[in-house]
């Protein structure tokens, strides 16, 4: 009967000559398995730290964005200098059962993502999460005075992540901050320049009928719905247009914006 004692089997393996194909394959398998376990363990251990750092960076950018909106700094000081946050169900435009703490786990579940039809996928995402964490600033009466909405899309060289702030009418842009991009330096990467971002303030996103009109112009803006384009970066400019239009539309924050306008939020 074969000896099934794992200790004896290990001793027999070690006793094999180093040139043995069996010994080489088994040792390679064991080393790769141990390395995989170590990498997986490090990922699990470091994930909370990475999430905390990402959250801290996003909060800092949010505070910087709000501070740049006229009158918002004073309002933040009156309210304690903090923004309220909530996770919303994008399809319903209402608060979700998911919390900011449980959101990362929820988004690890593929069933909490919605595939997008190519014709409707203006931002080039492929799919979008069912939930999103947003930030709301309220005035003394409890009404929403500022909505800060994370948005994302596909740029010329890679993903573009940004934070869009809307004024209380949910039609006027209060500001835009780019949080991540990999566009061409000196061209598309200029979307991070304060001078270019400053022109978003006061730009309208939709007309009286509710149609989304926002666009990055090919050159100089010609209406209240446009901002100046970036010379030599047409694809990046178009990506910003599509990204904003998608997230403010029915597949993005459209239902939420409608709910806020109705005073339901």
Of all residues in the chain, the percent with pLDDT exceeding 70 is 81
More confident of the two residues 165 and 139: 165
Please tell me the predicted confidence (pLDDT) of residue 160. 92
Please tell me the predicted confidence (pLDDT) of residue 80. 57
Asked if 162 and 179 touch (Cβ cutoff 8 Å), the reply is yes
Count of beta carbons in the 10 Å neighbourhood of residue 76? 18
Which residues pair with residue 137 across a beta bridge? 146
Please tell me the predicted confidence (pLDDT) of residue 11. 77
Cα-based distances in Å from 254 to 171, 174, 188, 209: 11, 17, 27, 14
The pLDDT mean for the chain works out to: 83
In which order are the strands placed within the sheet that holds 131-138? Answer: 94-95, 84-89, 131-138, 144-154, 159-167, 173-180
Average of pLDDT values for 198-211?
A: 91
In this prediction the pTM is: 0.72
Of 46-50, 115-119, 135-139, which one has max mean pLDDT?
A: 115-119
Cα-based distances in Å from 225 to 28, 241, 248: 61, 11, 14
Report residue 49 as tokens.
């730290």
Please tell me the predicted confidence (pLDDT) of residue 47. 61
Question: Of the ranges 20-34, 84-98, 169-183, 226-240, which one carries the lowest mean pLDDT score?
Answer: 20-34
**Residues 168-185 pLDDT 10s:** 899 999 888 888 888 888
């Amino acid at each position: 009967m074969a000896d099934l004692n794992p200790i004896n089997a290990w001793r027999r393996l070690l006793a094999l000559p180093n040139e043995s194909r069996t010994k080489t394959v088994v040792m390679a398998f064991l080393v790769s398995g141990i390395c995989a376990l170590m990498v997986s363990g490090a990922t699990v251990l470091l994930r909370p730290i990475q999430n905390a750092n990402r959250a801290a960076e996003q909060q800092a950018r949010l505070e910087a964005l709000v501070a740049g909106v006229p009158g918002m700094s004073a309002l933040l000081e009156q309210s304690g200098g903090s923004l309220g946050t909530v996770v919303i169900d994008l399809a319903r435009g209402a608060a979700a059962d998911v919390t900011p703490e449980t959101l990362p786990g929820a988004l690890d579940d593929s069933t909490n993502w919605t595939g997008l039809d190519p014709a409707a996928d203006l931002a080039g995402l492929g799919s979008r999460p069912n939930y999103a964490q947003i930030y709301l600033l309220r005035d003394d009466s409890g009404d929403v005075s500022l909505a800060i909405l994370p948005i994302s899309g596909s740029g010329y060289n890679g993903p573009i992540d940004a934070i869009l702030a809307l004024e209380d009418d949910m039609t006027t842009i209060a500001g835009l901050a780019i949080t991540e991009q990999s566009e061409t330096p000196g061209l598309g990467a200029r979307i991070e320049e304060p001078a270019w971002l400053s022109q978003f303030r006061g730009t309208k996103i939709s007309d009286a009928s509710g149609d989304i009109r926002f666009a990055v112009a090919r050159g100089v803006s010609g209406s209240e719905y446009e901002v100046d384009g970036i010379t030599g970066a047409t694809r990046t400019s178009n990506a910003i247009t599509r990204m904003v239009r998608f997230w403010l539309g029915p597949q993005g924050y459209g239902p939420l914006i409608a709910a806020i306008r109705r005073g339901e939020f």
